[in-house]
Structure 1
Amino acid sequence: MLVTPCIFILLLSCASAYKTIIDVLSEDARFSTLIYHIQRQRLVPYINRLPRGTLFAPDNDAFARCDRKDITKTMLLYHLLPDPMRIDEFHHDQILESLYVRPGFLGSGDPGQHLKVQQHGNTIWINQAKIISKDIPVNRQTYIHVVNRVLEPPPSIETILRRINKDIYQWMDKISMSSLLSQPRPFTIFFSRQSFFTKFNSVEASYLSSSYGQKDLFQVLSFAVVEDVIYANNISSAETHYKTLSGEPLSIKRSGETIAVNEVAMVQHDLLAENGVIHVLDQPLIPDSLTFNVRKYLYGLNATKFVSMMDAHHLSDYLTNDDEWYTFLVPPNHVIDEDDIPENAKTYWLQYHLAAGQWTTEYLRNGMLLKTEFQSDLLKGAPQRLPVHMTDHPSGLSLSFGQSSVMNDPIMLGKNVIYRIAAPLTMPYDLFSSLVVDLNLSTFIATLYVSGVVDKLKDAQGITLFAPTNDAFDQLGLVAKYLLHPSGRTDLQHVLQFHAAKELQYSQDMKEYVIDVPTFASDSLHIVGYEDGRIAIGSNRQQMGKVIEKDILVKNGVVHKIDQVQIPLSQVQITHHHLLLGAGANIMQEVLKQTGLIEVLGPDIVLLAPTDKAFASMDLDVLFNDSEQLERVAKMHIVNSRDVDRQLENKKGVEYATRLSEYDKVIIRNAGHGELMVEVKGNPTGHHARVIGRGTISGNKRFLKGDYGPLAGGVLEIDTVLTPIRRGLFGLPWGWSLTIISAAAILFAGALGATGYLIYNWWKRWHGGYETIPDSENTPDNTE
């Protein structure tokens, strides 16, 4: 009987000695505000049932400093740990699990929201709250630690990033990744204290921030996200791989106090979030799978029109091909007007902006021709060329392709080069649209249309046209006029077709070569290219002209301007008759015909051909009825130039014998300014003739050298008829002849008179006898 009361008393004393957290808090006035909120959230029964645990108890001052007035149940539970922990059990960077559970937020098993311990000297901090009173016992398995701030459960990763790193948050928000990170799923985020754009150049950053780069932007940002919660104290010295949200693995390894993620140092760890943890790295993490191609760079350069056109015309492979080498010439959006480009030419237009090879400024040269990707049928499948213009200035290099200047430095991307150009490239026009605007080729263009050769050259494929300048045609003189004469049409066609080679010959192809190329005439053109860039062409090695402007690109080939018209010698033979046709000297032709002198006009004969207007001042009926005078006039205009040097710099002129006689000569002199004058020697009262046209025949050796000068065999068109002098004795003019005869008669008469006088005196002496004249020395002196 006595045993039972003793047991009862013992049990009663034990019951009265057992306390709960609520009991201890209620006994201390510092926690009145805490008791109030516990009671208000109806947590007294829950806390009283806890068999063990740890409470971080904010005092009244902590609540007074708390900005939040709506202390929730979850906030109060966040102050409770399920296990008893004394102050000496805390250590720096320790992660504690609270009784506040958010299902799914921290992974399987639904662990409670975490707190982080930080220790600085003897001071212990729980999150941002300092423990100001420690180890208040409740019972043997429960302790209270007083903190100076109310603990708030961590927000989501999305919220934390928005607060502490607006840069990365705005890009995550751009691709809707921020909403993903607020979901009730566990994540670990490794973000850099530097902007992740520091790993990219301006073009790449522009691409990633554009609407076209969102997929790659997600790849970059998700590479820093692991779908699990990884706290720093869980990282071991053994390298561990974790699968990221992008699908690629991250390697994490501890080395002493240093933690590295993909060999990037972790500078801050364990920023707690309700759905995971955030770690701060020294540099951004960039996935190896992220690559940049031309397409992405063009998006970054905002050349979106160019890209969309490439896609629309099935040229996308150029933008993603990493195996070939290409140079891209890309105009900006605002200068591209697709309506200006014919639909059937857009593919060619795009290909003309691409060149095979990695053409950096190091390899470009002024005047070179790039082979574009436009392989034209009009060039027999050869690539259309693009001229390069480079000039060194004190301020730097000036570079343009065609007529479009380069705006910035080239961008190197693997094997590719991208140039940003100010305007779209202009593709070569058709042959005559290109040449008709060149006033220095107007004569050549006119002859092409007059001859009918124009259509043949328009339709030709892969040709090289050597276009003589207007000066070159002027040098031909009467030859050019003959070729434009209706009767010279066939010869004109031969001449023009001789200037069109049947194959492409760009200047760089002709350099340092001696070649013969087939033409649309039967003859081949002889081409000599010199090391210094000079190019000479001709019908043979003697008659060579010079290329004075190179590489004028046209749709179906290339044009070079030359300084001399070339004559195909096997097809075109220029005669005096042809030159007279060119001069329109019809009367002179009739004179030669009636006198039969047309046969004497050989390769070294210069024919002085008066114009029809010059003959108008004469009575032609009288002239043609006087065969002797007609022949004299004709012969007076025929000069033999053989073995006569050109000495026209001497303004006194050079004498040339005519066909009339060795005495009948003409004087040709240089009157200055390229003008020649002709006069009849010995006829000071005669009119001087002015040379108004010149032409050289084919058979003359100077013609073979391309020398169309006035003393080569041919025709000099003059504006006055040369009148031969009437001659008497010894081939002298009649006036001189009469003077000589008169003088001779007078001399004869004088001589005859003197002779008669002498004879008379002799006869007189003989008839009167001989009388000796005494010598004064032998005569006696009569005075004696």
Structure 2
Amino acid sequence: MFWPLVLVSLSLALPAFTQQVSISFPHPHPDYESLLRLLQRARLIPTLNRLNGSAFFAPTNDAIHRHDLWNAVVSDDNFIWMPIPGGSLGSEPQRLRVAARDQGAWTPATAMLLGIDDVLTPPPNLAHLVSQHSSVSYFYKILTPEIRDFLNSTTELTLFLPVDKAFERLYLESEFATADLDTVRWSDTFNSSGKLKTIDGSILDIVVTPDKTSISTAELLHPDIYASNGVLHLVSSLMVDLEITPEKYLLALNCSSFVSLIHSVNLTGLVNDTEAKYTILAPGDDVLSLFGDGDLPEKGSEDLKKLLQYHFIPGTWSPKKLNDGMLLETALIEDGLDGGRQVLSIAVSGGEKKKDDKSIKFGGVGVIGDPIVVNDTLIYFISRPLVPPSDALETVLPLQDLSLFLASVFSASMADKLKTPRTSLLVPHNSATWGSVLLHHTLNTVEYAQSIQNGSRTFATLEGTDVQLEHLKNGSVYISGSGGWDGMKAELFPHDILTQTGVLHEVSDILIPRSVQLTVGKLIKAADATTIATLVTKAGMDWVLNGSAPPPDSIWAEQGFNGVGWTLLCPPDEAFKTYNLTELYADLEGHLIPTPMRSSDSETALNNNRPLLLEDSATYSTLRSPASAYGDVIFRKTDTDDFIVGIKGARGTDGDADWPRVVSWGRSTTGGGTGGVIAIDRLLVPYNPTWWTQYAGPTFVGVGGIILICLFFYGVRAFWRRDFTHATYEPAGGFGAADEDD
């Protein structure tokens, strides 16, 4: 198998060697017995005799015995070698490079035998040859098994291989560089036009000048490195312009873990398309290394695919284009949005003077460093992976202020209903939660903050009714339900809390649909006060509970109570334990307050769910007022901003016992939206003054008045009986002497 390597055409320049032997062996030379045995076993004697103008480099016996492989062949009588038809060089002989010292070239007429003291080792295949050259060690390092097999098994190759410094190291070292390595060009033939056609069909231009040889854009550095299946030429640079894709930049910038995840879910089209326009939010390898196996979805899973799609934003969004509060559509297509794209919130701070000083967050995740532009793609490096919005109820779960809403959803068995695609959920705070109106808080369209803040609009809900938005000059947004009382509003906080099926906003109060009527009876039930409801029914005033007008023939209708609301002071059931209920029927009137319509100017726009206007010293008449001087009730505000209620004018010794504390309240939607229930912590016992309290005052006033009258007349009489005459004086001697003188 090695003999073609020692047969050299005499057209080469050969030196004149001192030892010359005839090509035929009528008597074997003792120095070439091993060689002759190998020639006979390979059946090459006839071939050698037919060759003219050739030189045979004949290794001696010692040279063959020093060569391990040939020595094994000589010793093994069973070894049989089968040559490859046509050879691995396309019927071309292998070349041998010969050098001479101080001697000229000699071309023999027939043939010559040149004895040599060592065995000429044939060139290895191209794959093994690449491993032996340090200048192309990088190429050998990044060889894939497929390419190594190709270099081992393919014949008739001319390989133009760039030296180490010509490669883009960071990219080609990755596990995803095979595609470009497959495009390294090997030529199969040379032609007279100076052009080489490569395996993939492209053309390499050959330019030969006295100074250098160029292969397309590369310079030929080291030509003609022989191999068993071809020839290797070293060139200065890659002869193909590798397409710069976002994936290559991500790999070069230490985002190989992110790229590996993309490959696992077959989303390579997002990073390999040089014409696609995307903004990529990429976590680096150091970021992903902080997350364990349980922190990210499993490789190749559908959840991981959704997570990765959430990191791609169609279009090129440079920092100059980003504004605080923006919502950008991502590549994630959500079933919960009826095939619509999920959005990502943008937060921008700073940068008033210099755009480069902007602090940008995508979905609450900060940006590390400056963005990188790759063709039509922009890459931001983020501090942690983005997580797509979850189910609406899962989103509400960690929000403690909205926990009662979640409890109401499950207690009302509406969890599946609230997962309806393309919805906007308006979640009231805990203080405003009401299970029966949950669907009225779910818009049947996806409305982000931007659309909510642009003017007043009416939105339909899953409940079948609508809600109305109102914008104030100070930027606040009020929302009104379709039902409730006149002027019932809640403040809307458009937070853009993204969910899998849409978006979530917060409202400060409950929204009541027109299909729901809140009566005094329902409010009593919500307060868990059944005893007072029984008293109202037993008293024949059940119309107060259901919000209807009194019967036409009742005394209440005669007193003109048609069309008014009713406010019930509602004590808990425990307050009645020490009282006789039969005796309390008559006292019920002191707990019922007729509530006329209120002016909208007298109440605030928000938190107007009080059935009465509660102010310090606010006084209201009850049904007992016409028959008793102690029928009115008065509200007083304490130092802790709580309210207590008592009977106006009542006198007692224990203020805590005489003044129940207001616990909570609720407003009804019947009776023109006035009235409701005010829960108090104890029973408001009617005030019946004692005889002393009742008569002592008038008696004291009467007796005091009589005494004062008597004193008055006594004084007058004494005054008139007083002597007002004064004593007179006469002259000495009297008036008679004077008269006598006259």
Quickly name the TM-score band, shorter chain normalised: 0.5 to 0.7
* 1:443-482 → structure 2 map (5 Å cutoff): 443-449=404-410, 456-458=417-419, 460-473=420-433
Pick one of 649, 658, 668 that aligns with 2:635: 668
Alpha-carbon distance between aligned partners in 2 of 1:50 and 1:322, rounded to the nearest angstrom: 59
Distance 2:34 2:64 in 1: 18
Corresponding position of 1:441: 402
Q: Which amino acid is the alignment partner of residue 465 of structure 1?
A: L
Q: What's the counterpart of residue 488 of structure 1? A: none
Distance 1:51 1:694, change over 3 A: closer
Which one has the largest radius of gyration? 1
Give the counterpart of 1:350 among 305, 310, 316: 305
Query: Structure 1 residues 200, 592: CA separation in 2 closer, same or farther (over 3 Å shift)?
Result: farther
Is 2:728 aligned against 1:775? Answer: yes
Q: Does 1:265 align with 2:265?
A: no
Distance in 1 (alpha carbons) for counterparts of 2:69 and 2:426 = 94
| Matched AA of 1:281 | V
Aligned to 1:4: none
Deviation at 1:162, TM superposition (A): 3.0
For 1:654, the equivalent position in structure 2 comes to 617
Question: Aligned runs of 1:372-771 on 2, under 5 Å?
Answer: 375-376=333-334, 378-385=336-343, 425=387, 428-429=390-391, 431-436=392-397, 438-449=399-410, 456-458=417-419, 460-473=420-433, 493=436, 495-528=437-470, 535-539=477-481, 542-548=487-493, 550-568=495-513, 570-574=514-518, 576=520, 579-580=523-524, 582-583=526-527, 584=529, 585-586=532-533, 589=536, 593=541, 596=556, 600=561, 608-611=569-572, 613-614=574-575, 617-618=578-579, 621-622=582-583, 624=585, 633=590, 653-656=616-619, 658=621, 660=625, 666-685=633-652, 687-698=658-669, 714-718=676-680, 719-721=682-684, 723-724=686-687, 734-755=695-716, 761=721
Q: CA deviation at 1:565?
A: 0.7
**Match for 2:678: what amino acid?**
L
Taking a change above 3 Å as real, the CA distance of residues 427 and 622 of structure 1, as seen in their structure-2 partners, is: closer
State the 1:500 CA deviation: 1.9
CA distance in 1, matches of 2:583, 2:93: 137
- The count of corresponding residues between Structure 1 and Structure 2 is 629
Q: Secondary structure at the match of 1:219?
A: coil
Structure 2 counterpart SS, 1:737: helix
Moved more, 48-57 or 318-327: 48-57
* Preserved contact between residue 221 and residue 236 of structure 2 (Cα < 8 Å): yes
The amino acid that maps onto 2:679 is E
Aligned counterparts of 1:335 and 1:41: Cα–Cα separation in 2: 66
- Mapping of residues 30-69 of structure 1, within 5 Å: none
Q: Distance in 2 between matches of 1:529 and 1:68?
A: 102
* Alpha carbons of structure 1 residues 611 and 750: separation in structure 2 relative to 1, 3 Å: farther
Contact kept in structure 1, 2:635 and 2:645, CA below 8 Å: yes
Residue 250 of structure 1: CA displacement?
0.9
Summarize the Cα distance change of 1:617–1:55 in structure 2 as closer, same or farther, 3 Å threshold: closer
1:438 Cα deviation after fit: 4.3
Which of 162, 168, 188 aligns to 2:158? It is 188
The question of whether the paired residues in 2 share the 8 Å contact of 1:272 and 1:278 is answered with yes
Residues 280-306 of structure 1, C-alpha deviations (whole Å, 9 max, x = no match): 322233366x78686998996586676
Cα displacement string for residues 349-376 of structure 1 (whole angstroms, at most 9, x for unaligned residues) = 6356425614667467777655455545
Residue number in structure 2 paired with 1:13: none
What's the offset of the Cα at 1:275? 6.3
Aligned to 1:247: 201
The correspondence of residues 168-183 of structure 1 with structure 2, limited to 5 A, is: 168-169=139-140, 171=142, 174-175=145-146, 177=148, 180=151
| Cα distance, 1:684–1:780 mapped onto 2, change above 3 Å | farther
* 1:162 matched residue in structure 2: 131
Higher normalized helix content (fraction of residues): 1
Q: Which residue of 2 aligns with 1:121?
A: none
Q: Secondary structure at 2:182's aligned position in 1?
A: helix
Counterparts of 2:323 and 2:479 in 1: how far apart (Å)? 25
Q: Deviations over 1:742-772 (max 9, x none)?
A: 111112222344455567x59xx9xxxx9x9
TM-score when normalising by structure 2: 0.64
Deviation at 1:696, TM superposition (A): 3.0
Q: 1:669 to 1:391 in 2, by over 3 A?
A: same
C-alpha spacing 1:692/1:241, structure 2 compared with 1 (3 Å): same
User: Contact between 1:591 and 1:634, CA under 8 Å: does it hold in 2?
Assistant: no
SS at match of 1:250: strand
Deviates more, 1:406-415 or 1:370-379: 406-415
Amino acid across the alignment from 1:254 = V
Distance 1:630 1:338 in 2: 63
In the alignment, structure 1 segments of 5+ residues that lack a partner are 1-20, 27-34, 74-101, 117-125, 474-479, 481-491, 704-711
Rate the CA distance shift 1:303–1:557 in 2: closer, same or farther, 3 A. Answer: same
The percentage of counterpart residues that share the same residue type is 19
- Structure 1 CA distance, aligned partners of 2:685 and 2:619? 14
| Aligned CA distance change for structure 1 residues 415 and 542 (closer, same or farther; 3 Å) | farther
CA contact (8 A) 1:188 1:227 kept: yes
Alpha-carbon separation, structure 2, partners of 1:168 and 1:249 = 22
Inter-CA distance 162–755: structure 2 relative to 1 (3 Å threshold): closer
2:237 is aligned to 283
Q: What is the Cα deviation at residue 676 of structure 1?
A: 1.0
CA shift at 1:457, angstroms? 3.6
Aligned counterparts of 2:249 and 2:34: Cα–Cα separation in 1: 59
Amino acid at match of 2:168: K
State the one-letter code of the partner of 1:550: H
| Contact kept in structure 2, 1:527 and 1:536, CA below 8 Å | yes
Given residue 684 of structure 2, which amino acid in structure 1 is its aligned partner?
V
TM-score scaled by structure 1?
A: 0.61
Could you tell me which amino acid in structure 2 is paired with residue 241 of structure 1?
K
Partner Cα distance (1:138, 1:776) in 2: 198
Deviation, structure 1 residue 525: 1.0
Distance 1:503 1:261, change over 3 A: same
Deviation at 1:516, TM superposition (A): 0.9
- Write the letter of the residue equivalent to 1:242: L
Q: Say yes or no: does 1:205 pair with 2:164.
A: no
Residue-by-residue CA offset, 1:655-677 (whole Å, 9 max, x unaligned): 52535379766542222434212
* Counterpart for residue 183 of structure 2: 219
| Alignment check: 8 A CA contact 2:388 2:500 kept | no
Q: Which runs of 5+ in 2 are unaligned?
A: 1-14, 21-28, 40-46, 71-84, 351-355, 542-553, 605-609, 738-742
Shift, 1:470, TM fit: 0.6
Contact 1:208/1:217 (CA < 8 Å) preserved in 2? no
Is the CA contact (8 Å cut-off) linking 2:478 and 2:489 kept in structure 1? yes
C-alpha deviation, 1:688, in angstroms: 2.0
1:667–1:679 contact (8 Å) kept in structure 2: yes
